[in-house]
Amino acid sequence: MTEKVEWAKENGIKQIADLKDVFLNETRSWFIKYLETTLDAGFSRVFQEKGKESKVIAGREMAHAIHIAVTLSHLKNANEWLENLRRALDSESEGLVETIDRLKKNIYSSLLEHIDSVAVALENRA
């Protein structure tokens, strides 16, 4: 019994901290991959739906504008998360810094590419 108590005091806290670090690194890695995939395929589709504008009923157009506004909010949150992550990284994480910078460029490119949809969404949101 004392062996278990001693293990919990000495190794348990270190193992919990190590497990936390592994978990954070894995979830961060997963989310970065998710962002890459979503920015390449998912978010661009939200903006492209606007092309059917002439046949759109006013309510559907408003719903689409709201959807774009929500998407913009998600992009803003992702950009802030990336910025916080970049600030927290040390100098040994050069590859991750490059990935973060590329993702931030993709966010900006997506917004610039679809600036007209963004403007309509913001106008309807106000």
- Closest by CA to 79, choosing from 109, 115, 49, is 109
Query: Where do the structural domains in the chain lie, given as residue ranges?
Result: 2-125
Segment 28-54, tens digit of pLDDT:
999 999 999 988 886 555 555 555 554
Q: What's the start-to-end Cα distance of the chain, in Å?
A: 65
pTM over 0.75: no
Burial of 72 (0-12, 13-18, 19+ CB in 10 A): buried
Segment 18-31, tens digit of pLDDT:
999 999 999 999 99
> What is the mean pLDDT of the segment spanning 58-70?
69
Whole-number pLDDT of residue 117: 67
Which residues of the chain form beta strands (DSSP E)? none
Predicted confidence band of residue 98 (pLDDT cuts 50, 70, 90): very high
Q: How far apart are CA 93 and CA 125, in angstroms?
A: 39
Q: How far apart are CA 64 and CA 49, in angstroms?
A: 8
> What is the mean pLDDT of the segment spanning 65-75?
78
Whole-number pLDDT of residue 55: 47
